[in-house]
Every structure is written in C-alpha cells, then in structure tokens.
Amino acid sequence: MALLHGLLRPIELWNDWVLGLGRWIAVICIALMVVCILLQVFFRYVLNNALPWPDEAARFLMLWMTGLIAPLAYRRGGFVSIDLALRLIPERLAALISLVLLVIAGFVLYWGIGIGYSEVTGFGGRFDTASLYVPLSLDFTEWYRVPRSWMFSSLFVGVILLFVVNLELILRSVITMLGEASRLRPIMGDDVVVE
Amino acid sequence: MLIWFLPVFLFFLLVGLPVFFGLLAAPGLLIWLDPETSTRDITLLYRNVYNGMDSFPLMAIPFFMLAGELMNRGGITERLVEFSQALMGHFRGGLAHVNILSSMLFAGLSGSAVADTSALGSMLIPAMERQGYSRRFAAAVTAASSVIGPIIPPSGIMIIYAYVMGESVAALFLAGIVPGVMVGVGLMLVVRLMANRYDLPKAERIVHKNQSISGKEYWFSFVLLRLNLGWLLFALFRGVTGIAGETVAEDGAVIGPAPFTIWVTFGVCVLAVHVLLMGLRRSVDHDFRIVTKRAVVPLQTPILILGGILIGVFTPTEAATIAVAYALVVGFFVLGSMKLADMPDVLSRSAMTSAVVLLLVGAAVAFKVVVSLSMAPQILADFILTLSENPLILLFLINILLFIVGMFLDAGPAIIILGPILAPIFTDLGVHPVHFAIIMSVNLTVGLATPPMGLVLFVASSVSGERVETIAKAILPFLAVEILVIFLITYFPAFSMTIPRLTGFVQ
C-alpha cells in the first residue's frame, strides 16, 4: 500500500503543477483567440484590408487551449460518460469495472502518444504553416515561419498529459478498491458540465 | 468486420467508458484486430481527431460559451427576470410564466440548458416558494423551460451538428427559432391550465419600485433601442416603398442607392421611432420604463448575433466574437459589473468546457470516417426499411429512439454519435437535412429534462434541494407538451423550415 501511495504522490504533484500551468496558458490562449478574431473583423470590415494570419493564429491557439486544459477537465471528472450501470451494480464490482475502463482509456492514450510522436516528427510536421511567423530579432527584421509540427504538438502534448492523469486515476482507483479511499486527497473541483 | 464497431462502441458506452475514449477505442480495436487493415488506418483515426478540431467554424463554441459566461457574471439574469415579470407577472401563475419567458430570453444569450437552470433556478425557485408554489412545481417549471436554451439560437449543439454533418450553422440557428418559441408557448399554456385548477397566484409586475439606472446605462439603452427599432423601420420602409433600395437599370445592372439617401432615410426612421417612443412614454409608469430599459443591454446580444449572421456581415464564429466583445464592453464600461479579477475564472471555465466539447467533436469526426467505411448507414437503412417504408412511421420510430437516447446521454455527445449514422438514412428518404437536424436537436434536448439521467433534472435538484424523483414526477405535464411539439415539428416541416427558406439560407 505504501508503494501505491509512494507512486501516486509524485504523479499528483506533477498534475497539480503542470495542469495548473496549463490552465493559465489556456486562459491566455482563449483571450488571444478573441483578440485575433476581433482584429480580423476590424481589418476586414472597417479598414477593408483582410489580414492573412488571424484565422490560422486563432486555430493554433484553440488547439493549444484544448490540449492544455482538457486533461484538467478529465482529472475533475468532466469527460462525459453514462455512469448509470456503475451506480446500479455492487460497489466492489463497480470499482473493478471502473478500473478496467481506465485501463482501456490508458491503452487509447498510449496508442495516441505513439502516433502523435510520429506525426509531430514525421513528414507532415516538416511543412510550414500558411501564414504564421515569429520574430527572431528584437527589431523585427528577421522572421521564422512556424512549422506545422508546432500545431501538431498541441494534441500530442494533450494526449501525454491525459495519459499521466489517467495513471493517477488508475492508482487512485486501485487504492480505493483496496479500501484506503479515506487516505486519498480529493481532486474534484468544480464539475465540468458539457452539453 | 468493421461493422462490429457499433455494438462494441455501445457496449463501452453502456458500461461507463467516457464517450471520447469510446469513440476511439471501438473502431481502433477493430481496425487493430482486422487482418485487412493496417496500423496506417489507426494513424488516420488520430489524424482525423486533429483535423476535426482544427476548424474555424468550430471556434464559435468557445466564443459563445465565453459570451454566455461573461453575460451571466454581469448580472443580466436579474434584469431578464424583472423584465419578464413586468410583462407577465400579473397573469395567474405569474411567476411560472415569468420563469418560462425568462428561459426564452436567456436562450438568446447562452444556448445552454444547464446555465439556464442554475442561473434562473437559484433566483426564481425560492421566489416561487415564497409566493406559495410547491418547491417541486417550481423546480419542474425551471427544468422544463430550460430545454428551450439550446433550441433558440445561439445553440452549442447546433454548431456541433452543423460542423460534424457539414450543414449551415445559420440555417440551423434560424430553423430553431419557431420550435423554441413553440415549446415556450406550449409550457405557458400548461401553466395557464394549471393556474385555474390549482389556483396559482398572481405576482406583482414590479418587484423593486423606484429603481435607479446609471446615466451611462440610461443613454446606452436609449440609443440602442432607437437604433434597433429605427433599423427595423428602415428595412420595412425600404422593402415596401423601394426608396433607398436597389434599382435595376434597363441593361439589367443592379444599382445601389447613394449613401446619402441611405443615411438620410435611416435618420428619418430613427427620428420617427424616437417620436413614437416619446409618445408611448406617457402611457407607461416610471418603474416599468426603468425595468424595460435595464433589459435592453442584455437583449441586444441575440440581436447582434442573429442580425449579423442574417445580414451576411458575420460568420457565426465572428458573430460569437462580437458577442464576446459586446459582453466585455457592457460588463466593464456600461454596467460596471465586472472586474479584471473575475476574468481568469470566466476564461478558464469557458476554455475547460469547450476543450471537452472540441475533443469530442474531433473524436466524432474520426468516428464518422469509420462509420462511412463500415457501410453502417447502408446496413442500418436496409434494416430500418424492413420495418416500414413510410417516412412518417420511420420518423415516429426515430422520435422514440432519440427520446430514449436523450434520457441517458447529453444532447451534444448524442448528436455527435447518432448524427453521422442516422442523418444519411433520412436524407436519402427525402427528409431535408436541416429539418432532420432540428428533429434531432429538439428531441435530444428535451431528453435533458427526462428521468433517469436528464442533466437539468439533477441541476434543478441541486439548486432547489428537492429530490430528482419528485421533480421527475412534477415535470410530466410539461414533458407531455414538449413531446407534442416534437411531433408537430417532425410532421410539419414548415414550422422549422419557413424562416430559413424565407431568408434564403435553405433552398
């Protein structure tokens, strides 16, 4: 049991810190998305001069927002599922089935990490984005065209973070099954409601 | 072999696997086991998740959620309720009517049944109890009316449906208006009948007498109201008289009016509206005027969104961004009800909820590809056609199926799962895709208020402190009306299709 708690603790700490940081970056991403599209509207309709980059920049930000904050939603139990069957069967059996479901989710994520890595480092990732550049010098004279791999990385990072959250949930589930649920620290925050 | 993904997926779903993982695990497992497919096909599944999320139209989801969240923080719920009460409070069963009308107005801002139940329920359920309504009745009215939220535009589930199925968001938004109003009016009729039978009380039309309004808000509302009504008069005038409208020259070229003519005509219309409003001013009392004025600012949001989309100025995504900008300006500068310190929480709630939806949509796009590859719609269509070839009977069966699914699953995920499977079947049978989208959306949305798993029942229960089972019983008369509306919009497409047809969004 001590081993399980010992394994859980660093994963909990990692998730606390990394997902907390991810949340803040996601907050900045969604705010910047709004700015991008407002600029697009302003330039197109008011100045009659459509900018090429806001559309792609906003999608870039949306993908990173999703990758960084979805794991936090998963950790807080915000992924939609039908839990009626689990509520109707005996508690021990329900805990066992929950564990099996987490393992299935783990397989999906493990498979996602493998493919995600090959996508980011593969052929498609070497192409450049259509309109995104970052400055390489402070006087804005040198620009670097953003490769598509930077966009692909959003889902890859998201899947890695989800995998670590899944590991934490598996360990918690095992500890609960062994009757030590009372020693677990609560992680549920606000319920995330999806429609 | 791939056709087995559907039963495997259903099994995963029923034992409780999150929908996101189920959408990927079931096809992934079968692709992996099938000797005829390769790992490259699994890679395609991953790529489709990514491509499904990488979309400009889909960005409307986080923006609409953000706009709703900002408006909610800005204290608009109270304004809408007071406005509804000023209009309908004096009827028998006044507060129940107010509850329903507030839901209809709220629907134009948020598009979420849950937000509607929690915001309106926490305010109106205690107020109704104080007036002598039973708590279960108050909770049931709140839950039943909140399903209007995702039917009247803007609507999160319609954006999802339009994206996954390749339909026009604007057409779906417009098609939802009449069904949403029908549900609202139907619920009001039930309240009217119950009011006579159970002697439900009337309420005061004005709750807070001698309210004041800040100078900034006063002038903001003053100008907005005149501009909106002036524009409406201008459009009518132009349509009827042809003055300041387009003319067709002898060679067939369309000649637009001179800007001067447009501005002068518009100015005259605004002036005419101003004179009319000043005349009406004397016939209403001061409190009623203030309550109405306080409702102008929030009610401008649906006008901005729908107006922008209808005129063709904005895409739905841009309209959603404009709604966010409007909510920010109103919250910070006009009403002064928002502080910078509120922003991180508002942004992170919107980001988190939309991230979950976006992942689901990505998985749904991957799932849809497997659905097409597996020939599932064709096989299911053959099976369904053995039951009956009459589209009306099949639509009835689909109504029942969707209603049952809606009892167990939220509307968004249910649309994501069933849309790609069912829509092609019924489109082939001659049902218009937009009509079918509305049947699905309304059916599944009503499912949000049905036991045993209706999400809004649980929210209403937590807001009111009443047990879910008790609310589930009290909600039955309201559900009956909602089911009647579902049948009406199913068998009379004109209810949903007239507005999109008249505005040219549907051929």
Tens digits of per-residue pLDDT, A76-123? 988 888 777 788 888 888 888 999 999 999 999 999 999 999 999 988
CA-to-CA distance for B128 and B144, rounded, in angstroms? 15
Residue A195, pLDDT score: 43
pLDDT one-digit tens code per residue, B328-338: 998 898 888 88
- Give the residue-averaged pLDDT of B193-210: 83
- Give the residue-averaged pLDDT of B288-293: 89
**pLDDT tier, B39 (very low <50, low <70, confident <90, very high otherwise):** low
Cα distances (Å, whole numbers) of residue B94 to B100, B138, B172? 10, 12, 32
| Closest Cα in chain B to A125 | B47
Q: Is the pLDDT of residue B27 over 70?
A: yes
Taking CB atoms and an 8 Å cutoff, what residues of chain B touch A104? 12, 17, 21, 25
Q: Among B415, B439, B417, which Cα is nearest to B427's?
A: B439
Residue A144, pLDDT score: 86
- Give the residue-averaged pLDDT of B184-211: 87
Give the closest of B21, B25, B355 to A70, CB-based. B355
Cα distances (Å, whole numbers) of residue B53 to A2, A85, B170, B223, B411? 41, 31, 20, 40, 19
Whether the predicted interface score ipTM is above 0.90: yes
User: Three-class SS string for B230-250?
Assistant: HHHHHHHHHHHHCCCCCEECC
Residue B13, pLDDT score: 86
The helix or strand, by DSSP H or E, that contains position A55, with its residue range, turns out to be helix A54-75
The helix or strand, by DSSP H or E, that contains position A161, with its residue range, turns out to be helix A148-177
Top-ranked range on mean pLDDT: pick from B107-111, B263-267, B388-392, B459-463: B263-267
Q: What is the pLDDT along chain A (195 residues), one digit of tens a residue?
A: 788 888 899 999 999 999 999 999 999 999 999 999 999 999 988 888 888 899 999 999 999 999 999 999 999 988 888 777 788 888 888 888 999 999 999 999 999 999 999 999 988 778 888 888 888 888 888 888 888 899 999 999 999 999 999 999 999 999 988 887 777 887 755 444 444
- Give the residue-averaged pLDDT of B12-21: 90
Yes or no, beta carbons of A155 and B352 under 8 Å apart: no
Give the closest of B59, B112, B448 to A33, CB-based. B59
CA-to-CA distance for A81 and B15, rounded, in angstroms? 9
Structure tokens at B374: 């597996």
Tokens 């449906």 found at: B161
Q: Which residues pair with B248 in a beta bridge?
A: B254
Residue B503, pLDDT score: 85
Structure tokens at B67: 């706009």
pLDDT one-digit tens code per residue, B146-182: 999 899 988 889 999 998 888 999 899 999 999 999 9
Contact A128, A147 (CB under 8 A): yes
| Closest Cα in chain B to A88 | B15
Q: Is B98 on the interface with A (CB under 8 A)?
A: no
pLDDT one-digit tens code per residue, B245-255: 777 777 777 77
Residue A25, pLDDT score: 97
Q: Quick one: angle between helices A54-75 and B343-373, nearest 10?
A: 90
Give the closest of A111, A119, A192 to B352, CB-based. A192
Q: What is the mean pLDDT of chain B?
A: 87
- Give the residue-averaged pLDDT of B94-112: 89
pLDDT one-digit tens code per residue, B70-96: 887 877 888 888 899 999 988 888 899
Rounded to the nearest angstrom, the minimum Cα separation between A165 and chain B is 14
Q: Is B20 on the interface with A (CB under 8 A)?
A: yes
Contact B90, B98 (CB under 8 A): no
Burial of A39 (0-12, 13-18, 19+ CB in 10 A): middle
